C-alpha cells in the first residue's frame, strides 16, 4: 500500500499546480454554496412579536412546565441549562400561587378544580433576547425542550406554518436549484481532475494488471486524496465565510436580516451538512473514474 | 518432464477484424491449433517474426486473453475455470519480464522490485530481504535506492528481472527481453535467465533475435502464421540453422 501512495504522491508533486487549482475551485464553489446557505438561514426567521404581542416585556417567549416533585438541585440545574441557551435573555421561576393563577389565565377557570395544590407543576417563563429568531434555532430549541424528561410540557409555541415567511417558495426553490448546480459542478470538477490522473497512470495500472496486483491498490490513494481535497476545501471555505466575508456581508447587507448588524453564523449542523455535500461530490467524482482505472490500462505486450 | 507448468492443447485464438471490408473474413486468426507442454526447470525460446502470435501465446498463458478454442493450463490450473480474481492471483505467482522493462518511473529500484510482493503476506522485513536477494542475483544491489530514471537500458532490464524473481516464481515469461539491448548486454541477460534453471524455475522467452537463439540453443519453439512447431536443439543447430520465417524473408528480399 505504501508503494501505491508513493507513486500517487510523486505524481501529485509533479502536477502540483493543477491540483492546487482544483483545490481553489472547489473551495470557491463551497464558499459560494455556504454563502447562499447563510443568507437563506438568516432570512428564514420566526417573528416572536408578531405571534405574541401581549407578552410581558414584549419578548417573553415560552412557558415551560416542570414536575413539582423535582428536587431543588435538579430544578436549579434545569434553569441554568435553559439560561445558557443563547436565545434566552432570562428564565423566571413562578411560585406556586402565581403559577396557579397563570395556568387559570391560560387554560380557563375550570382548570382550578382539576388539579390539586400539591401536584401543581412548577412553571418557568423563558424570555427571548431578540424579537426575531432563526427558524433553525427556534426548532432546535423546541425539540431540545420536548425531549427533556424533566419537562412536562411547553406552552406559547409559535405555529411556524401560520407565520408569513420572508422567503417566498419560488426563491427557496431557486436557491435549492443553485445548490444542486453547484453540487453537480463540484462533482464534475473532481471527476475531471481524477480522470486526468487516471489517464496519466495508465502505465502503472498496466504494470499492476500484468503483475497480478489489484487495481484498487492504485485507486485507494486517489480516494484518500479526493477525501482530503474535499475536507481541506470545505475547511478553507467555511473558515473564509466565518471570519472573512461574514463581516463584509453583514456590513453591506446586514439591514436586510433579522439580526441587524451581524449575521448569524452557520450552525454546526449546517457546516457539517455542507462538508458532507462536498465529500459526497468528491466521492462520486472519484468513484466515477473506477471503470476507467480498470479498463484503460496500457497494453504492455 | 515430471511436472507440467504450462500445457496448451489445440489452442486457437481469433481476433475480431474491425477493419474487414465486405467479403473479407470477420475474424483474424492469431494462433491456430497450438499445442505446447512446458515442464519444471525448462528453458525455452519462442521464436517467430513480428505478428506471428508470440505475444498472443504469452497472454493466453498468463490468462490475459481467453483462447477461442482449446484448453490452457498454467501452473496446473485450467484457466477456463478461473474467474478474474483467480486469474489475477495466478498472474501474481508468475514472473514477467517485458521488452522495455516497464518499471515504475516514480519509484526507486528497490520499490520497483517489491511490486509483486504487494499482496504477499510476508512481513516488511522479509520483503526487504527478498528484494535485496533478488537485486544481488542480478548484481544491482548497490543501486537499490537509486531512482530508476537514471539507470541505463541494460540496468533497467536487470531490475525488471529482479522484479520477476522476487516472489520466487516457478514460471517466468519474458517478452522480447533483449529488444532494447546491445548484443553484449543481451547475451549476459539471457545467460542470467538460463541460470534460473538451478532454482527449478521454467523460463519461456519470446524473441526474434535469432543470433541469441543460435548461440544459446536449448529447446526452441517456432511460431509462424499462428502455428507452432517444436525445433530440437541438435536439429536446430544444423538443419534449422536459419528458421523457416527467416528463409522466407530472405527469399522475398532476393526477389526484390
Q: Tell me if A49 sits within 8 A of A58, measured CB to CB.
A: yes
CATH of the domain at B62: 3.40.50.300
Q: Are both B24 and B138 inside the same structural domain?
A: no
Do B39 and B135 lie in a common domain? Answer: no
pLDDT, residue A254, reads 61
Does A210 touch chain B if contact means CB atoms closer than 8 Å? yes
Q: Are A26 and A185 in contact (CB under 8 A)?
A: no
Q: Is B159 in the same domain as B248?
A: no
Give the separation between CA A1 and CA A3, rounded to whole angstroms: 5
On whether both B8 and B90 belong to a single domain, the answer is: yes
Residue B145 · residue B109 · CB < 8 Å: yes
**Predicted local confidence at residue A55, as pLDDT:** 47
Residue B151 shares a structural domain with residue B216 = no
The number of distinct structural domains making up chain B is 2
CA distance A257 to chain B (A): 55
Same domain (yes/no): B23, B64 = yes
Inform me whether the pLDDT recorded for B238 exceeds 50.
no
A270 touches B at CB < 8 Å: no
What is the DSSP pairing of strand A60-66 with strand B219-224?
A: unpaired
pLDDT at position B222 over 50: yes
pLDDT of residue B11 exceeding 70: yes
Are A213 and B55 a contacting pair at CB < 8 A?
no
Last residue of some domain: B140, B168, B196? B168
**CATH number for the domain formed by residue range(s) A45-162:** 3.30.70.3040
Please report, in tens digits, the pLDDT of each residue of chain A (301 residues total).
678 888 888 888 887 887 788 888 888 888 888 888 877 777 777 777 655 544 444 445 788 888 777 778 888 888 888 888 888 888 888 766 666 677 777 666 666 666 666 667 788 888 888 777 777 788 888 888 888 888 888 888 887 766 655 566 677 778 888 888 988 998 998 899 889 888 888 989 999 999 999 888 889 989 998 999 899 988 888 888 877 766 676 666 666 665 555 566 777 778 888 889 889 999 999 999 999 888 878 777 7
Whether B90 and B117 share a structural domain: no
Among B151, B168, B185, residue at a domain's last position:
B168
Same domain for B122 and B107 = yes
Q: Do A300 and B102 touch (CB under 8 A)?
A: yes
B163 to chain A: which residues are within 8 Å by CB?
A: 211
How, if at all, do strands B77-78 and A60-66 pair?
Answer: unpaired
- Same domain? For B40 and B133 the reply is no
More confident residue, B188 or A58: B188
Say how many CB pairs under 8 Å bridge A and B. Answer: 65
Whether residue B102 and residue A213 make contact (CB cut-off 8 A), yes or no, is: no
Kindly determine whether residue B59 and residue A217, on different chains, have CB atoms separated by under 8 Å: no
Averaged pLDDT, B98-122: 90
> Is residue B178 located within the same domain as residue B235?
yes
Torsion angle of C-alpha atoms A208, A212, A213, A216, degrees rounded to 10: 90
Same domain, B77 and B52: yes
Residues 6+ apart with CB under 8 A from A153: A64, A65
Cell numbers that stand for A51 in this block: 405571534
pLDDT at B7: 92
pLDDT in tens, B65-92: 999 999 999 999 999 999 989 999 999 9
Nearest to A301 among B99, B106, B116 (CB): B99
Q: Where in the sequence of chain A do the CATH 3.30.70.3040 domains occur?
A: 45-162
* pTM for this prediction: 0.73
Closest CA to B7 of B42, B34, B44, B29: B34
Q: How far is B136 from chain A (nearest CA, A)?
A: 21
Q: Write the pLDDT tens digit of every residue in B113-151.
A: 999 998 888 898 999 999 999 999 888 999 999 999 999
Query: For every residue of B177-204, which 3-state class applies, written as one string?
Result: CCCCCCHHHHHHHHHHHHHHHHHCCEEE
Comparing CB atoms, the residue among B93, B114, B118 nearest residue A217 is: B118
B244 and B120, same structural domain?
A: no
The confidence score (pLDDT) of residue B86 equals 93
CA distance B234 to chain A (A): 31
Residue ranges making up the domain that contains B235? 4-94+172-255
Amino acid at each position: 500500500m505504501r508503494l501505491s501512495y508513493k507513486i500517487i504522491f510523486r505524481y501529485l508533486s509533479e502536477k502540483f499546480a493543477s491540483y492546487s487549482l482544483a483545490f481553489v475551485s472547489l473551495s470557491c464553489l463551497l464558499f459560494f454554496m455556504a454563502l447562499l446557505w447563510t443568507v437563506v438561514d438568516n432570512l428564514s426567521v420566526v417573528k416572536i412579536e408578531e405571534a405574541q404581542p401581549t407578552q410581558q416585556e414584549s419578548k417573553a417567549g415560552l412557558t415551560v412546565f416542570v414536575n413539582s416533585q423535582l428536587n431543588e438541585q435538579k430544578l436549579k440545574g434545569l434553569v441554568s441549562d435553559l439560561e445558557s441557551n443563547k436565545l434566552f435573555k432570562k428564565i423566571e421561576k413562578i411560585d406556586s400561587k402565581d403559577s396557579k393563577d397563570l395556568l387559570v389565565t391560560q387554560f380557563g377557570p375550570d382548570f382550578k378544580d382539576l388539579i390539586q395544590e400539591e401536584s401543581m407543576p412548577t412553571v418557568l417563563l423563558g424570555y427571548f433576547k431578540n424579537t426575531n429568531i432563526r427558524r433553525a434555532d427556534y426548532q432546535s430549541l423546541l425539540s431540545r425542550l420536548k425531549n427533556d424528561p424533566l419537562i412536562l410540557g411547553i406552552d406559547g409555541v409559535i405555529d411556524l406554518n401560520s407565520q408569513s415567511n420572508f422567503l417566498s417558495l419560488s426563491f427557496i426553490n431557486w436557491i435549492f436549484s443553485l445548490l444542486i448546480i453547484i453540487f453537480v459542478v463540484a462533482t464534475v470538477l473532481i471527476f475531471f481532475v481524477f480522470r486526468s490522473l487516471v489517464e496519466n497512470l495508465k502505465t502503472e495500472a498496466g504494470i499492476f494488471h500484468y503483475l497480478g496486483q489489484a487495481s484498487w491498490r492504485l485507486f485507494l490513494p486517489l480516494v484518500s486524496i479526493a477525501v482530503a481535497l474535499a475536507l481541506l476545501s470545505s475547511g478553507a471555505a467555511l473558515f473564509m465565510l466565518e471570519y472573512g466575508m461574514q463581516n463584509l456581508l453583514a456590513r453591506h447587507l446586514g439591514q436586510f436580516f433579522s439580526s441587524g448588524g451581524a449575521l448569524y453564523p452557520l450552525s454546526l449542523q449546517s457546516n457539517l451538512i455542507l462538508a458532507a455535500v462536498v465529500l459526497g461530490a468528491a466521492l462520486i467524482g472519484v468513484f466515477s473514474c473506477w471503470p476507467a482505472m480498470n479498463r484503460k490500462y496500457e497494453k504492455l505486450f | 518432464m515430471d511436472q507440467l507448468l504450462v500445457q496448451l492443447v489445440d489452442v486457437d485464438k481469433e481476433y475480431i477484424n474491425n477493419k474487414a471490408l465486405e467479403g473479407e473474413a470477420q475474424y483474424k486468426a492469431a494462433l491456430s491449433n497450438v499445442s505446447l507442454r512446458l515442464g519444471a526447470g525448462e528453458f525455452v525460446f519462442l521464436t517467430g517474426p513480428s505478428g506471428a502470435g508470440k505475444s498472443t501465446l504469452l497472454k493466453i498463458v498468463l490468462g490475459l486473453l481467453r483462447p477461442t478454442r482449446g484448453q490452457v493450463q498454467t501452473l496446473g490450473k485450467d484457466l477456463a475455470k478461473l474467474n478474474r480474481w483467480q486469474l489475477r492471483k495466478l498472474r501474481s505467482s508468475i514472473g514477467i519480464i517485458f521488452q522495455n522493462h516497464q518499471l515504475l518511473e516514480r519509484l526507486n529500484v528497490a520499490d520497483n522490485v517489491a511490486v509483486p510482493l504487494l499482496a504477499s503476506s510476508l512481513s516488511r522485513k522479509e520483503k526487504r530481504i527478498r528484494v535485496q536477494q533478488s537485486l544481488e542475483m542480478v548484481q544491482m544491489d548497490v543501486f537499490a535506492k537509486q531512482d530508476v530514471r537514471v539507470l541505463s537500458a541494460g540496468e533497467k532490464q536487470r531490475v525488471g528481472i529482479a522484479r520477476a524473481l522476487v516472489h520466487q516464481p516457478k514460471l517466468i515469461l519474458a517478452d522480447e527481453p533483449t529488444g532494447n539491448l546491445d548484443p553484449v548486454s543481451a547475451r549476459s541477460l539471457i545467460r542470467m535467465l538460463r541460470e534460473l534453471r538451478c532454482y527449478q524455475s521454467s523460463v519461456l522467452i519470446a524473441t526474434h533475435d535469432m543470433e541469441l537463439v543460435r548461440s544459446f540453443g536449448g529447446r526452441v519453439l517456432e511460431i509462424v502464421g499462428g502455428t507452432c512447431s517444436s525445433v530440437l536443439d541438435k536439429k536446430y543447430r544444423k538443419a534449422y540453422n536459419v528458421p523457416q520465417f527467416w528463409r522466407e524473408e530472405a527469399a522475398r528480399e532476393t526477389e526484390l
